[in-house]
Amino acid sequence: IWFHGKITREQAERLLYPPETGLFLVRESTNYPGDYTLCVSCDGKVEHYRIIYHDGKLSIDEEEYFDNLMQLVEHYTKDADGLCTRLIKPKLMEGTVAAQDEFSRSGWAMNRKDLKLIQTIGKGEFGDVMVGDYRGTKVAVKCIKHDATAQAFLAEASVMTQLRHTNLVQLLGVIVEERGSLFIVTEYMAKGSLVDYLRSRGRTVLGGECLLKFSLYVCEAMEYLEANNFVHRDLAARNVLVSDDNIAKVSDFGLTKEASSTQDTAKLPVKWTSPEALREKKFSTKSDVWSYGVLLWEIYSFGRVPYPRIPLKEVVPRVEKGYKMEAPDGCPAAVYDLMKQCWTLDPAGRPSFRLLREKLQHIRAKELHL
């Protein structure tokens, strides 16, 4: 919210006028592309501090290092720690207005008047997911009430504007309201999450051909993300949705970052996350492959929770010793073999999504010819 993107030094000084000690904002550095500048109003003038980006960490004094801007700003709001003053009051970006302009320019802004919200279908920690109607089309709408999370979701939305694949839930547009509420509008997936779909239908309804099809849909979406250097970070059957015509699509890019950034591991879903991502925050396409192996296990066990009968705190130590889940009942040996390859402890030893897709297509061709 205090992040103003590409503005000049002069613009920053104008924004911090009239001077008020502790009023601050962060902008992209004009002299050092890729770095940031913290601008703070102090005793009637504005100080500009370069934020240095080093080995994936941020620092002003090269003594304290932070994973992201949020952490850095939070630190200096508590303590001046060498700055001319502690950070007291963020200069709010006309924020959401600037974001609205950005989405308008790129053609993704929607008109709030054209969107009717009908009913809530899910509650997340950041806001509700609702069914809506946009000019006669049924849509899903993520409603985010305004605060720092809206900024994170603006990032999610801008990631989604860059991605288009039949097996990714498609972004339709974004509405940023003056008051700062944010609506992310996506295609509506009538049959809900894959995990609920599998649980409610079970093995009497869903045959092997159907499970293999779901496995392939997800794999194709992930192969596309892999080719575009995007890491999903939260791949699981609960984050795959099923359309009216039974097509599975990967959703929830809430954590999607361009490959190679770090994040807080406290909230990570332990049973789906690879050992290196849990231990060292190393997220990559290969950590997505690990999660995909767990997702395959979920598909073939009709939505059971992974690592049944193992207490959560024992999962990681056992996995790191090489423990792998057993094959779900009735799972073809060839598919179980793929799961085990995904669960190779050394990320470099795991197959790519491209290879996984080729192998699944091969398994499918054989099944169809039986």
3 domain residue, yes or no: no
Which of 225, 96, 93, 122 is closest to 164 using CA atoms?
A: 225
Identify which has the larger pLDDT, 360 or 58: 360
Which domain, by its residues, includes 116?
A: 94-187
User: Sorting pLDDT into bands at 50, 70 and 90, what band is 259?
Assistant: very low
- Catalytic hit among 234, 244, 245, 252: 234
What rounded mean pLDDT belongs to the chain?
88
pLDDT tens for 286-304 read 999 999 999 999 999 999 9
- Whether the CB-CB separation of 31 and 40 falls below 8 Å is answered with no
Q: Which of 140, 168, 187 is the last residue of a domain?
A: 187
My answer on whether 307 and 261 are in the same domain is: yes
Looking at residue 67, which CATH number applies to its domain?
3.30.505.10
pLDDT tens for 101-137 read 777 777 888 999 999 999 998 876 667 899 999 999 9
Looking at residue 270, which CATH number applies to its domain?
1.10.510.10
35 is catalytic: no
Q: Which of 59, 85, 111 is the last residue of a domain?
A: 85
Between the alpha carbon of residue 288 and those of residues 56, 77, 237, the distances in Å are 20, 36, 13
pLDDT exceeds cutoff 60 at 264:
no
Between the alpha carbon of residue 91 and those of residues 39, 47, 94, 130, the distances in Å are 10, 14, 9, 32
My answer on whether 56 and 103 are in the same domain is: no
Q: What percent of the chain has pLDDT over 70?
A: 88
pLDDT at 253: 65
> Which residue ranges are tagged as binding site?
142
- Whether the CB-CB separation of 320 and 274 falls below 8 Å is answered with no
My answer on whether 111 and 134 are in the same domain is: yes
My answer on whether 360 and 225 are in the same domain is: yes
168 domain residue, yes or no: yes
> Which residue ranges are tagged as binding site for ATP?
142
> Rounded to whole angstroms, how far apart are CA atoms 297 and 240?
14
- Report the domain count for the chain: 3
User: Sorting pLDDT into bands at 50, 70 and 90, what band is 22?
Assistant: very high
pLDDT exceeds cutoff 80 at 354:
yes
pLDDT tens for 45-85 read 999 999 988 888 889 998 999 988 888 999 999 999 999 99
> Rounded to whole angstroms, how far apart are CA atoms 359 and 349?
16
Q: Determine which of 4-8, 86-90, 252-256, 320-324 has the lowest per-residue pLDDT on average.
A: 252-256
My answer on whether 152 and 203 are in the same domain is: no
Identify which has the larger pLDDT, 155 or 86: 86
pLDDT exceeds cutoff 60 at 96:
no
My answer on whether 76 and 103 are in the same domain is: no
My answer on whether 335 and 229 are in the same domain is: yes
Q: Which of 187, 215, 239 is the last residue of a domain?
A: 187
51 domain residue, yes or no: yes
My answer on whether 98 and 183 are in the same domain is: yes
Identify which has the larger pLDDT, 155 or 214: 214
My answer on whether 199 and 58 are in the same domain is: no
